[in-house]
Amino acid sequence: MELRRPNLTDKEIVLDMMKEFEESGSAHDGGFWNVEDFDYEDWLEGNVDAEVGLNIPPTWVPAIQFVGFEGGKAVGFLSLRLRLNDYLFNVGGHIGYSIRPSARGKGYAKEMLKQGLQEAKQKNIQEALVTCHTDNLASRAVIMANGGQLEDIREQVERYWIDLS
């Protein structure tokens, strides 16, 4: 499984994954797009801008958009937020991720988070905050398998810190 920034040649397989998320009604934490007005090329440009904090909503922070790829298929999204604001500190964390419904239960989330943490370390993040809802047992297991230490629970969100030093 390879975690990397999506590019123009990935268009069809990423669009296929987005369609699956939309058709299933599944949350796509870690991947953000406007269903009503979506253009893949604009989305790619927006991802580049977001890394340096350009043209993002005032409540957002600079972030890197990654996609997990396996065997010619896009399997999930991961967003690495390069700093925390109040909302992310309390609820969202440094990393958000989601696996497309048809690829769940195959270990992709664990591997994507592992690679995402390596990227966070390269961006000088010493400790990464990763969160999940209290009823998301699979995400809890993924976080703990990657070294997550539970700090507390706020508003039904478990907050885990992972030491990257």
Say what the pLDDT of residue 146 is.
98
* pLDDT at 96 exceeding the cut of 90: yes
* pLDDT at 99 exceeding the cut of 90: yes
H/E stretch holding 79 reads: strand 73-81
Say what the pLDDT of residue 1 is.
97
Pairwise CA distance, residues 164 & 121, whole Å? 6
Instruction: Mention the CATH class of domain 2-163.
Output: alpha beta
pLDDT band at 29 (very low <50, low <70, confident <90, very high): confident
pTM, whole model, 2 decimals? 0.95
Q: What percent of the chain shows pLDDT beyond 70?
A: 100
Q: Rounded mean pLDDT of 124-140? A: 97
Q: Where are the alpha helices (DSSP H) in 78-159?
A: 86-87, 108-122, 137-145
The DSSP 8-state label assigned to residue 9 in this structure reads G
Tokens of 44: 């790619």
Question: Do 72 and 13 form a contact (C-beta atoms < 8 A)?
Answer: yes
Say what the pLDDT of residue 43 is.
95
* pLDDT at 34 exceeding the cut of 90: no
- Residues 103-119 have pLDDT tens digits of 999 999 999 999 999 99
Say what the pLDDT of residue 28 is.
85
